[in-house]
C-alpha cells in the first residue's frame, strides 16, 4: 500500500513527474516469427497489428471467444515477419497461441530470460537517453522503436512507458544488463535521475493517475466497457469479434471507471471490494493506490454505469468507506 | 501382530528390525523427519505417492522381508 | 414480468432437521473447529513440556523443517504459474510474502499487505481464527514464514531476511503484524527461533480501528485477489482449508509434541484428558444447548434427554468440515454415522492424523454428558477398518469417565 506521508514513495513518484525516474522492468517478451506472423497477430488482437510498419508498436487487447479481455499488450514490428509481444503473462499467451494457431506458418517463443529492459521516464528522459545512446531520439514518435548502441552494446530504444510521461524503454541482451544499468546510473548522475525501487509507485501510483490500467483491471470486460473503443479495428476478423460486436450493439451494464476514496487511507479496501450506491451493491474495486501528484487515494472500479454515473457518491467495503465515481484520469 | 507393507509407518518405525529393512529400501526412513508426518499412513498407501519413489517390485520385496520377521 | 420458476440456489450445509447453514457461516465454523482442536493440542503440549522456551523452539524447528521439505522446485514453479507471478518479478526472498498473504486469506485471517518492496515486507492482520491458541503458535508461524522466505531465496541461502511478528492477537495486540526486512540492507543479526517476536528496524503502519475489517476477502468479496490479479473463490479456499488447515496447525506441531511425552501411552493419556475436559465444558452454560438447538433447527419434539441432539451436532460438524459421512441410524435409541478413517483422519491425504479419531472421540463422549445427559455416551467403532462408525448411544459403565 502507499500512504500520503510516505516520503520515499512521494520522492520517487515526483522524480518521474518532474525530471527523470528509471527502473528495471522486463515485461515478459514473446518473439513471433514467420510468413503468417502478421496475419496471426492480426487475428489474435483487436488492433490493426498488420498495419504497423517496421519499428512501430501498437497497444492492443486480446479477447477470448466470448469477447472478454484476457490480455493487454504492446506488439512491436521488429523486422520482416518478426514481432515482439510485450505482455505480463507469456506462459498464458503461448498456451492461447497454441490453441489458435490453426496450422499457420508461424513460430513463437518466450524470450523473457534473454532480454532485459530498463524504463527511463519523465519530462527530461530524452536528455538522458540522448546522453547515453548513439542514435538521437529527438524525432521519435510514441510507440516507435530504433536500434542504437550504448557504450558499445547493441540495444533497442522504444519510445513508450507506463507512467504517462515522455519515456523510453531500453532493451538489451540479458548478458549486457549489468553494463547498461551502470551506464544509466552514471549518465543519470548529471541529470539527478532517480532509480525507482518501490514497485507500487511505478506499477500503480504513476500509471493510475493517468488512467493506465493493468490487465487485471480490464480482465473480463469488453474493450467498450474499458473505453478502449479506439483500439478495436472492426474492418478485420479477430478472435472474439462476433461476441464483442454484440456488446457494442446492445450496450453493456458495466464500465471501468475512476474512483476516489475519501478516507485518509484505504487499508480496508482490497481488489474486488464491493462498491455500494445507496446501500446497494453496484460493482467492485479494481485498484486502490495513493497518487502523489493528485494527492489523493485513487483507483479504478467496475460498476453498473447507469446506476452510478460520473460524480456519484458511493461507499466501498464493509466499513462503507466514502468514495466518488470520477473520470479515469487525474493528471 | 505381523508386520507388512499394510502396517502403519509408525509401527514399522517402532520395530528396529523392520526399520532397518525399510531403511535399506527407502533411505531416510529412520531419520527423515517427514516420516513422522506420514506415520499414520500404511507403507502401501505411502508408496502410492510419486514422491515416495517406491516401485511395485520394491514394495513386494519389502513385504516379503517383513513377513520373514514373523 | 412473470414470477420466477423457483428459488435461487445457494450453497450451504443442511442440518438433519432441514435448517440451512450458509456456506460463509459453515466456512467460518470449520476454521474455528480446526483452531479449537489446535488450541486443545497446545494444552497437551504445555502439560508435557512446562518450559515455554523449550516447547516453542521444538515446534518452531519442526514447522520450519516440514515447510522446507514440503516445497520442491516443481511445487514452487507450479505455484508461480498458477498465481500468474510474472517472470519479470525477481524471485527472491520477498516473494515469500505472496505465499504468506494467500495462505492467510484462505484461512480468513483478514488484513492487508502494508508494504511490499525488495527490502521489506509488512503484513498486518485484523483477525485470526487461531488467535485463541496462544503465543507459541504465533511464534511457530514465524518459523514457517522463515521457510517460505528461505525457499524463495535467490541465493539459496537461509535467513536472508529478519522476520519479526512484532504484534500478535494471540498476545493481546489489536493486530497481528509480521515484518520481513533484508538483513544485509538493515544490518540485522541472524535470528534464533525465539528471536522472531522482536521489533522491526523500520517503523510500522498501524491501521486504526475504524479501518480494520472483520472478515477476510473471501467472506467480504467472495474472492481473494493477489497482487498480480489472480483470484481464488470462497469455494476453492474452503476446500483448501479443510485439508491444509490441519497440516500446519495440527500435524506439524504434533510431530514435536508427541516427542515431548515419555511414551506413546503417556501422550495418549494426557491427550484424552485434555480433549475430555474441553468436551465436558462446552455445554455447561444454560444458554449453550438452547443456542445450539436454535442454530441446528432442532424441533421441540426432540427433548433435552435425546441423543439425537448430539448426533445432529456431530453430523453438522462433519458436514462443515467436508468429511464424507452417512447417517446409518438416527432414532431415539441411537445415532450411528458412518465415515471412512481414510478421510476422517486423512484430511490431507499424505499426512493423516490418527489423533483426530482419538481427540474427537474424547471430545464428543464428554460433550454429550453436558449437552444431553450422562446416560449417553459417544464412541467410535471400526477404527482400523475401511468403515468407521461414530455412535451416540446409552451406556452404563461403573468406571465411566
CATH no. for residue C312?
3.30.1380
pLDDT at C121: 86
Is 70 exceeded by the pLDDT of residue C92? no
In a domain, C36, yes or no: no
Is pLDDT at C16 greater than 60 in this prediction? yes
Instruction: Clarify whether residues C187 and C335 are in a common domain.
Output: no
pLDDT in tens, C158-177: 667 898 999 999 899 999 99
CA–CA separation, A224 vs C195, rounded Å? 54
C16, part of any domain:
no
The residue-averaged pLDDT of A165-181 equals 97
Report yes or no: A83 and A77 within 8 Å, Cβ to Cβ: yes
Indicate yes or no: CB of C213 within 8 angstroms of CB of A113.
Answer: no
Cβ neighbours of C114 in A, within 8 Å: 1, 267
Could C221 and A265 be called an inter-chain contact, meaning their C-beta atoms sit closer than 8 Å?
no
ipTM (interface pTM): 0.89
Mean per-residue pLDDT for A53-70? 97
Q: Contact partners of A by the rule of 3+ C-beta pairs under 8 A?
A: C
Q: How much is the pLDDT for C86?
A: 46
Q: Identify the closest residue of chain B to C345 by CA–CA distance.
A: B40
Q: For residue C340, is it within any domain?
A: yes
Packed helices B16-25 and B56-68: angle between N→C axes, nearest 10 degrees: 160
CB A83 within 8 A of CB A75: yes
- Please say if the pLDDT value at position C72 is more than 60: no
Mutate to test the interface with C, among A110, A264, A270 (most CBs of C within 10 A): A270
The answer to the question of residue C312 being in a domain is yes
Torsion C84-C86-C91-C97 (CA) sign: negative
Helix (H) or strand (E) holding C183: helix C183-186
- Quick count: other Cβ atoms within 10 Å of Cβ A79? 10
pTM of the model: 0.92
As a whole number of angstroms, the distance between CA C354 and CA C86 comes to: 41
Residue C96 has pLDDT above 90, yes or no: no
Q: Are strands A296-304 and C12-14 parallel, antiparallel or unpaired?
A: unpaired
Q: Which residues share a beta bridge with B35?
A: none
Q: What is the pLDDT of residues C236-253, one digit of tens each?
A: 999 999 999 999 999 999
The confidence score (pLDDT) of residue A319 equals 97
Q: Around Cβ A71, how many Cβ atoms within 10 Å?
A: 21
Question: Can you tell me whether residue A103 is helix, strand or coil?
Answer: coil
In a domain, C299, yes or no: yes
Average pLDDT score over residue span A279-285:
97
Higher pLDDT, C155 or C120: C120
- Of the candidates A71, A41, A76, A84, which has an alpha carbon nearest to the alpha carbon of residue A228? A71
First and final CA of chain A: distance in angstroms? 20
Chains B, C in contact, 3 or more Cβ pairs below 8 Å: yes
Cβ distance of A272 and C118 shorter than 8 Å: no
3-state secondary structure of B53: coil
Same domain for C83 and C192 = yes
Residue C257 has pLDDT above 60, yes or no: yes
Q: What is the mean pLDDT of residues C4-9?
A: 95
Shared-domain flag, residues C58 and C148: yes
Q: According to the 3-state scheme, what is the secondary structure of C282-347?
A: CCCCHHHHHHHHHHHCCCCCCCCCCCHHHHHHHHHHHHHCCCCCEEEEECCCEEEEEECHHHHCCC
* Closest Cβ–Cβ partner in C115, C118, C217 for A272: C217
| Residues on chain C touching A270 (C-beta within 8 angstroms) | 112, 217, 220-221, 225
Quick check: C222 and A272 CB within 8 A?
yes
pLDDT for B53: 85
Q: Which residue of B has its CA nearest to C342?
A: B41
pLDDT of residue C89: 44
How many domains are there within chain C? 2
Question: Is C225 in the same domain as C276?
Answer: no
Q: What is the mean pLDDT of residues C326-349?
A: 97
Q: Please, what are the domains in chain A?
A: 20-26+114-192 (3.30.1360.120), 28-110 (3.30.70.1400), 214-326 (2.40.30.110)
Residue of C65, C252, C352 with shortest CB distance to B40: C352
Say yes or no: C334 and C217 in one domain.
no
Mark whether C269 and C220 lie in a shared domain: no
Q: How confident is the model at residue C120 (pLDDT cuts 50, 70, 90)?
A: confident
Q: Which residue among A90, A198, A270 places its CB closest to the CB of C87?
A: A90
pLDDT grade, residue A25 (50/70/90)? confident
Which of A211, A319, A323, A216 is closest to A272 using CA atoms?
A216
Whether residue A267 and residue C112 make contact (CB cut-off 8 A), yes or no, is: yes
DSSP code for C248 = I
- Tell me if C315 sits within 8 A of B1, measured CB to CB: no
Share of chain A above pLDDT 90, in %: 95
Burial (0-12, 13-18, 19+ Cβ within 10 Å), C269: exposed
Check B33 against C65: CB less than 8 A apart. yes
Would you state the pLDDT for residue B70?
77
User: How does residue C87 score in pLDDT terms, banded at 50, 70 and 90?
Assistant: very low
Distance of alpha carbon C37 from alpha carbon C42, whole angstroms: 9
Query: What is the rounded average pLDDT of the residues C359-383?
Result: 98
Q: pLDDT at residue B50 above 60?
A: yes
Largest CA distance in chain C: 73
pLDDT of residue C117: 79
Rg of chain A, C-alpha, whole Å: 21
**C71: pLDDT confidence band, cut at 50, 70 and 90?**
low
**A touches B (3+ CB pairs < 8 Å)?**
no
Q: Does C5 reside within a domain?
A: no
| Angle formed at CA C165 by CA C162 and CA C169, multiple of 5 degrees | 175
CA distance A147 to A149: 7
Q: List the beta bridge partners of residue A73.
A: A60
Cβ-Cβ contacts under 8 Å for C126 (sequence gap 6 or more): C110, C111, C175, C207, C212, C213, C214
Residue C9 lies in a domain: no
In 3-state terms, what secondary structure has residue A213? coil
pLDDT digits (tens, 9 = 90+) for C376-393: 999 999 999 999 999 999
Phi, psi of C353 (to 5 degrees): -120, 105
- Is C86 in contact with A27 (Cβ distance < 8 A)? yes
Residue C161 has a pLDDT of 83
Phi and psi (nearest 5°) for A21? -130, 145
Identify whether residues C134 and C224 lie together within a single domain: yes
pLDDT digits (tens, 9 = 90+) for A83-119: 999 998 899 999 999 999 999 999 999 999 999 999 9
Of the three residues C185, C210, C229, the one that is the final residue of a domain is: C229
For residue C293, the enclosing domain spans 262-394
Amino acid at each position: 500500500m502507499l500512504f500520503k506521508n510516505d516520503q520515499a514513495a512521494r520522492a520517487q513518484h515526483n522524480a518521474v513527474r518532474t525530471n527523470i525516474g528509471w527502473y528495471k522492468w522486463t515485461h515478459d517478451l514473446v518473439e513471433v516469427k514467420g510468413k503468417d506472423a502478421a496475419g496471426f497477430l492480426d487475428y489474435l488482437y483487436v488492433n490493426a497489428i498488420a498495419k504497423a510498419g517496421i519499428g512501430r508498436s501498437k497497444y492492443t487487447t486480446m479477447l477470448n471467444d466470448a469477447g472478454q479481455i484476457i490480455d493487454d499488450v504492446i506488439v512491436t514490428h521488429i523486422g520482416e515477419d518478426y514481432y515482439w509481444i510485450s505482455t505480463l503473462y507469456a506462459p498464458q499467451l503461448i498456451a492461447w497461441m497454441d490453441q489458435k494457431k490453426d496450422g499457420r506458418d508461424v513460430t513463437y517463443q518466450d524470450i523473457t530470460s534473454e532480454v532485459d529492459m530498463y524504463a527511463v521516464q519523465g519530462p527530461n528522459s530524452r536528455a538522458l537517453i540522448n546522453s547515453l545512446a548513439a542514435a538521437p531520439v529527438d524525432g521519435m514518435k510514441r510507440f516507435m522503436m530504433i536500434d542504437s548502441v550504448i557504450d558499445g552494446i547493441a540495444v533497442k530504444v522504444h519510445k513508450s512507458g507506463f507512467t504517462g510521461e515522455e519515456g523510453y524503454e531500453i532493451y538489451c541482451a540479458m548478458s549486457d544488463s549489468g553494463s547498461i544499468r551502470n551506464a544509466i546510473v552514471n549518465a543519470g548522475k548529471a541529470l539527478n535521475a532517480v532509480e525507482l525501487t518501490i514497485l507500487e509507485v511505478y506499477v500503480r501510483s504513476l500509471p493510475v493517475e493517468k488512467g493506465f490500467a493493468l490487465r487485471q483491471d480490464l480482465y473480463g470486460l469488453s474493450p467498450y466497457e474499458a473505453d478502449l473503443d479506439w483500439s478495436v479495428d472492426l474492418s478485420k476478423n479477430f478472435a472474439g469479434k462476433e461476441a464483442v460486436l454484440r456488446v457494442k450493439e446492445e450496450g453493456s451494464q458495466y464500465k471501468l471507471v475512476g474512483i476516489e476514496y475519501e478516507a485518509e487511507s484505504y487499508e480496508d479496501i482490497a481488489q474486488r471490494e464491493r462498491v455500494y450506491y445507496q446501500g446497494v451493491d453496484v460493482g467492485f474495486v479494481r485498484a486502490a493506490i495513493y497518487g502523489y501528484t493528485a494527492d489523493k487515494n485513487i483507483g479504478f472500479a467496475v460498476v453498473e454505469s447507469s446506476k452510478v454515473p460520473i460524480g456519484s457518491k458511493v461507499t466501498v467495503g464493509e466499513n462503507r468507506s466514502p468514495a466518488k465515481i470520477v473520470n479515469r484520469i487525474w493528471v | 501382530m505381523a508386520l507388512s507393507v499394510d502396517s502403519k509407518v509408525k509401527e514399522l518405525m517402532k520395530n528396529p528390525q523392520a526399520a532397518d529393512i525399510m531403511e535399506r529400501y527407502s533411505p531416510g526412513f529412520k531419520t527423515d523427519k517427514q516420516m513422522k508426518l506420514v506415520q499414520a499412513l500404511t507403507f502401501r498407501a505411502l508408496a502410492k505417492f510419486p514422491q515416495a519413489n517406491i516401485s511395485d517390485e520394491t514394495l513386494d520385496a519389502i513385504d516379503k522381508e517383513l513377513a520373514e520377521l514373523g | 414480468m412473470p414470477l420466477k420458476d423457483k428459488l435461487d440456489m445457494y450453497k450451504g450445509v443442511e442440518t438433519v432437521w432441514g435448517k440451512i447453514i450458509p456456506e460463509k457461516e459453515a466456512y467460518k465454523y470449520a476454521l474455528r473447529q480446526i483452531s479449537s482442536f489446535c488450541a486443545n493440542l497446545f494444552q497437551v503440549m504445555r502439560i508435557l513440556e512446562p518450559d515455554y522456551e523449550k516447547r516453542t523452539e521444538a515446534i518452531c524447528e519442526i514447522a520450519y523443517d516440514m515447510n522446507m521439505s514440503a516445497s520442491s522446485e516443481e511445487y514452487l514453479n507450479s505455484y508461480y504459474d498458477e498465481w500468474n507471478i510474472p517472470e519479470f518479478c525477481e524471485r527472491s526472498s520477498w516473494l515469500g510474502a505472496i505465499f504468506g498473504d494467500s495462505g492467510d486469506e484462505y484461512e480468513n485471517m483478514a488484513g492487508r499487505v502494508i508494504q511490499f518492496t525488495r527490502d521489506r515486507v509488512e503484513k498486518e492482520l485484523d483477525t485470526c481464527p487461531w488467535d485463541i491458541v496462544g503465543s507459541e503458535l504465533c511464534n511457530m508461524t514465524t518459523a514457517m514464514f522463515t521457510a517460505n522466505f528461505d525457499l524463495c531465496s535467490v541465493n539459496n541461502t537461509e535467513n536472508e531476511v529478519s522476520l519479526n511478528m512484532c504484534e500478535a492477537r494471540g498476545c493481546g495486540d489489536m493486530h497481528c503484524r509480521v515484518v520481513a526486512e533484508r538483513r544485509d540492507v538493515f544490518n540485522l543479526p541472524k535470528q534464533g527461533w525465539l528471536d522472531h517476536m522482536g521489533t522491526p528496524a523500520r517503523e510500522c503502519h498501524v491501521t486504526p480501528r475504524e479501518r480494520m475489517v472483520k472478515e477476510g476477502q473471501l467472506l467480504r468479496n467472495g474472492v481473494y485477489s493477489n497482487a498480480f490479479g489472480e483470484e481464488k473463490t470462497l469455494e476453492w479456499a474452503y476446500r483448501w482449508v479443510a485439508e491444509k488447515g490441519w497440516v500446519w496447525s495440527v500435524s506439524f506441531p504434533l510431530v514435536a509434541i508427541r516427542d515431548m511425552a515419555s511414551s506413546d501411552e503417556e501422550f495418549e493419556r494426557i491427550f484424552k484428558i485434555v480433549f475430555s475436559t474441553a468436551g465436558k465444558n462446552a455445554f455447561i452454560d444454560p444458554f449453550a444447548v438452547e443456542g445450539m438447538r436454535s442454530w441446528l433447527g432442532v424441533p421441540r419434539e426432540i427433548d433435552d434427554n435425546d441423543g439425537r441432539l448430539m448426533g445432529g451436532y456431530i453430523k453438522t460438524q462433519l458436514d462443515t468440515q467436508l468429511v464424507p459421512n452417512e447417517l446409518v441410524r438416527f432414532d431415539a435409541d441411537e445415532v450411528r454415522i458412518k465415515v471412512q478413517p481414510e478421510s476422517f483422519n486423512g484430511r490431507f491425504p499424505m499426512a493423516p492424523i490418527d489423533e483426530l479419531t482419538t481427540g474427537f472421540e474424547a471430545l464428543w463422549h464428554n460433550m454429550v454428558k453436558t449437552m444431553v445427559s450422562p446416560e449417553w455416551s459417544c464412541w467410535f467403532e471400526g477404527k482400523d477398518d475401511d468403515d468407521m462408525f461414530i455412535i451416540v448411544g446409552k451406556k452404563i459403565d461403573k468406571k465411566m469417565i
